[in-house]
Amino acid sequence: MQEPQASRIALTWNGEPGRQEELTHGMLLDQAVRAAAALSRLGVRAGDRVAVHLPLVPESVIATLACGRLDAIRTTLPVSLTVPELVARTQESSARVLITADAAFWDGAVRPVKALLDHALARGAASGGVPDRKVLVVNRCSRPVSWKPGRDQWWHEALGMPTVPC
pLDDT range class, residue 17, cuts 50, 70, 90: confident
Average pLDDT for residues 121-127, to the nearest whole number?
A: 86
pLDDT range class, residue 46, cuts 50, 70, 90: very high
Q: Is the CATH code 2.160.10.10 the one for domain 3-158?
A: no
| Sheet with 152-154: strands ordered across | 73-76, 49-53, 97-101, 134-138, 152-154
Q: What is the pLDDT of residue 166?
A: 43
Domain chopping of the chain, boundaries: 3-158
Q: pTM here?
A: 0.91
**Which is it for the CA torsion 110, 56, 58, 97, positive or negative?**
positive
Q: What is the pLDDT of residue 92?
A: 93
Flag the least confident range among 30-44, 48-62, 113-127.
113-127
User: What is the DSSP code (8-state) at residue 159?
Assistant: T
* Euclidean distance between CA atoms 91 and 85, whole angstroms: 10
**Which is it for the CA torsion 5, 39, 68, 133, positive or negative?**
negative
